[in-house]
Chain A
């Protein structure tokens, strides 16, 4: 299995909702990443997990809460989002943090109404 999967593909939520994005990989990678991508812009790093521990938080607002329950799973919990948080949320993984190539999932298209 050489892919990163993400669910759901699309998500529409209100500003008072709580939802979660899920990411999974079975490549044995020990570093996992969350990126946010706005239309026609490059991905922006949000969080990095290394060996299930949060390694990097790029000053992301607390309404985004990451979680890494085990080495294969990465979640992003969403609460009280704003319309400007609407974007494509990408998950990526690499064998280890600092390892060069990152493998990206297809993303979750999030719309906040």
Chain B
């Protein structure tokens, strides 16, 4: 079946550096993508989303890029902080039923 996946299971980044988390998707019909952050012992927390008619969207310290040609999604975190340490999931919505298809997740570890 179609799935959303991540290239790097673990990303170690130094505090203050920028982080880039990548995600590949295979359903060309998906029209909405979302990034969630999940800290240990907590539920997923919305970070940022993007629709398929956009290539880029910026939030506070975060930017999501969508490349539909190669079916690639990325999350950029500027000036990474210790509080950014978490597992990051990308998810896509490819149907009208509201089912989110989650990627495998990337563990981000911020080192001092």
Contact = CB atoms under 8 A, between A and B. Distances in A.
A81 B94 CA distance: 32
Contacts of A48: 97-99
Contact of B99 (A40, A56, A103): A56
A107 B32 contact: no
A40 B105 contact: yes
- Interface of B, helix, strand, loop or mixed by DSSP: strand
A104 B44 contact: yes
A13 to B, nearest CB: 19
A104 B93 contact: no
Contact of B104 (A42, A92, A94): A42
A109 B42 CA distance: 10
A56 B97 contact: yes
Interface of B: 32, 34, 36, 41-46, 49, 87, 89, 91, 93, 96-100, 102-105, 107
27 contacts: A6-B43, A31-B98, A33-B98, A40-B87, A42-B91, A42-B104, A43-B102, A45-B99, A45-B100, A48-B97, A48-B98, A90-B44, A92-B43, A97-B97, A98-B96, A98-B97, A100-B32, A100-B34, A100-B49, A101-B34, A102-B98, A103-B46, A104-B44, A105-B43, A107-B42, A107-B43, A109-B41
